[in-house]
Amino acid sequence: MTDPTPAKPGPLAWWFAIPLYQRILGALILGAVVGYVWGEGATSLKIVGEVFIRLIRMLVAPLVFVIIATGVAELGDPKRLGGIGVKTISMYFLTVFLAVVVGLICASLFQPGLGADFANVAPQAVGTPKSPAEIFIGIVPLNPIKALAEGETLAIIFFAVMIGAGVIVAGEAGKPVAVLLKSGTEVMLKLVGFVMETAPLGVFALIAVVMGTNGPETFINVARLAACVIAGSLLQTLIVHGGIVRLMAWLPVVPFFRGIIDAMLVGFSTASSSASLPVAIRVAEDNLGIKPPVTSTVLPLGATIGMDGTAMYVAMLTLFAVQAFGVQLEPAQYVLIAVTTTIVAMGVAPVPSGSLFILAAVLGSIGIGPEQTALIVGFILPFDRVLDMIRTVPNVTADLAVATAVGRWEKEIDVEVYKGCPPS
């Protein structure tokens, strides 16, 4: 006679029954507590966080290639690809420009640079950023394999689009390649699922190290600049991106933010737009109901040029420098800052602290020299990791808001899935 009492689920079953976003959020809070209590000893956890980031970044280049090539091949009509591309790039220009405006407004109100003391600051020089012309030329790779190996995202996107277009034009002869790409995409997405199960461990370690090495003062030092970044990120995420979803995609906002929380938390903990790309693709398809022809083109492009948080932050740092050095700006110079920041921000590397490498280009446009720029970078650098974590969130939400709008316009979104999406 069998025992009718069902067996209790084991600890693993209990763990995996908890929604991933709740596990990540819990790990983030626990990591902050452990880091605070353990102090410098938390640096021993650094290897766990680094392994997690490497696992995610390992997937980015091959995932971008196969998913874009598959998406283009599945469109079937080259004209449709052009339509999606124009809409996507136009939307990213709009969101980045609005982020710059938000950054300038917040920095003007909070005035974070007023009275800044650089007496004990060690100057930190930054390299010369690529010009827009160099960025444009670099889109076409001399060696596609090298571009994949070095993670040159724009070059990978270009080559993948060419492969997908070649499959379309080849017709019947290209079908085996289309099947191979489709299979490769499915395999890569399964790998993303495997890696995301390690996210709670990675997030726990990353946050513990930040809190252990810098302590709670990480969140209070440079308070006015931090307040600027937090206020600007909230405005950009809730008002601008929420407005895109509501007014341009004609969809309710709550399911959008509920469905993308995994991607937001990974973006926050890794401070990298490219590292959050695999998760963004997963939540866009599973939670928001956006179909692969859109996710495979819009999101990888957004991880490269959809730098809302970066643009906002560079605009804030520019006014921080202006206020600290007592520079008087004419109205035309504000316009120059807005235009320059919009252009250079779309070419910044989607990696932690990437924005500091383009600051020299914007400050140079208003007459602030390399020595003064080095002082600003030296002042900000000790706190930049935490500020970078905050401003990466608008980068992620921008990509998903644009994907939602484009999916709606192209009728490539399942509205029922979107409205009923569980939080992962």
pLDDT by residue, tens only, the chain of 424 residues = 555 666 566 677 788 788 777 787 788 789 888 988 888 888 898 898 888 878 877 877 887 788 778 877 876 666 666 677 788 888 998 999 999 999 999 999 988 888 766 665 555 555 555 566 776 787 788 999 998 888 776 788 789 889 988 998 888 899 999 899 989 888 887 887 788 788 888 888 887 887 787 666 545 546 788 889 999 999 999 999 999 999 999 999 999 999 999 899 888 888 777 778 888 998 999 999 999 888 888 888 887 778 899 899 989 988 988 888 888 888 888 888 888 788 777 656 555 555 666 677 777 777 777 777 777 777 776 677 778 888 889 999 999 999 999 999 989 999 999 987 554 4
Residue 143's pLDDT is: 93
Residue 424's pLDDT is: 47
- Report d(CA 306, CA 221) in Å as an integer: 29
Q: Which amino acid appears at position 201 of this protein?
A: L
Class for domain 18-419, per CATH?
mainly alpha
- Report d(CA 67, CA 284) in Å as an integer: 13
SS3 9: coil
Residue 163's pLDDT is: 92
Domain ranges of the chain: 18-419
Phi then psi for residue 142, to 5 deg, are: -70, -35
Q: Is 279:192 a contact under the CB 8 Å cutoff?
A: yes
User: Which are the contacts of 407, defined by CB distance < 8 A and separation ≥ 6?
Assistant: 249, 288, 290, 291, 294, 295, 298, 413
Residue 288's pLDDT is: 94
Please give the structure tokens belonging to residue 300: 């990888």
pTM as predicted: 0.71
Closest CA to 304 of 405, 402, 193, 164: 402
For tokens 């690529």, name the residue: 130
Q: Which amino acid appears at position 281 of this protein?
A: I
Q: Which amino acid appears at position 291 of this protein?
A: K
Residue 274's pLDDT is: 75
